Structure formats: structure tokens, C-alpha cells
Amino acid sequence: MGDFRKLNVWLRAKELAVKIYQLVKNQTISKDYGFKDQIQRAAVSIPANIAEGDELGTDKQSIRHFYIAKGSSAELQTLVIIGSEIGYIEKANAENLLNECQVISIMLANLIKARS
């Protein structure tokens, strides 16, 4: 515990958040302030909760934050699916983002199991 920047799951989640921020720069999404805000908040919540959880003093506290990050990953997947279906996100890009969310969720599940 304590050096979240060395956790592979944090690195991947941080890169995913960066991709989402870059994605919402496009004109269609950038004009939909509600959607833009929600997808950005869901994306940044994943690495933020991993970091916070890893810095906490007990495994019980850490696990709680890892579950929150896992929930944010599901939220992000939902927003990517909706964004794709309404034409904000190209299908191929959406598939890549969804795959990355799923990998991160699996990594979080493994981290939770290891800390339990």
C-alpha cells in the first residue's frame, strides 16, 4: 500500500481518463455540457478512487474505494455505450474504450481479492 503510481490498474485507469478528456474535445460532445461533465467525472473517478484507496491505512478502507472505482468503471461503460448509440462516439473507438473499462474492472476485482 501507499505507492498507487506503481499500480498497473491505476496507470491504465489514468490513461483511460486522459483518453476520455481528449475525446470530449470534439465539437458534438463538447456542446452537450451534461453528458461531457458526466463522462469526464466517471472517467476521472476511477484512478482517483484507486489512488485514494491505496493511500488509506487499512485494507478495509482501501477495498471500499476500489469498489467505488469499479462502480465508476461500470458508469463509464454505460456512458460510452450511450455516447456511441447517439452518435457522439465512433463505434470502433467505443469498443476500444469498453474493452479498456472491462480490463480495468477485472484488475480491480483481482486487487480487491488480493487485499481481502
Average pLDDT, the chain: 95
Alpha carbon separation from 15 to 38, 46, 56, 111 (Å, rounded): 18, 11, 23, 18
Q: Which ranges in the chain belong to alpha helices (H)? A: 8-23, 27-31, 33-55, 59-85, 91-115
What global pTM score does this model have? 0.95
pLDDT of residue 28: 85
User: Which domains are seen in the chain, by residue range?
Assistant: 4-115 (1.20.1440.60)
Provide mean pLDDT across the span 87-96: 97
pLDDT of residue 1: 63
pLDDT of residue 112: 97
Place of cell 484507486: 50
pLDDT of residue 26: 78
**Separation CA 99–CA 112 (nearest Å):** 20
Tens of pLDDT, residues 40-72: 999 999 999 999 999 997 899 999 999 999 999
Side-chain-side CA neighbours of 31 within 13 Å: the count stands at 3
Alpha carbon separation from 32 to 28, 35, 55, 74 (Å, rounded): 7, 6, 35, 21
Residue 10 has pLDDT above 90, yes or no: yes
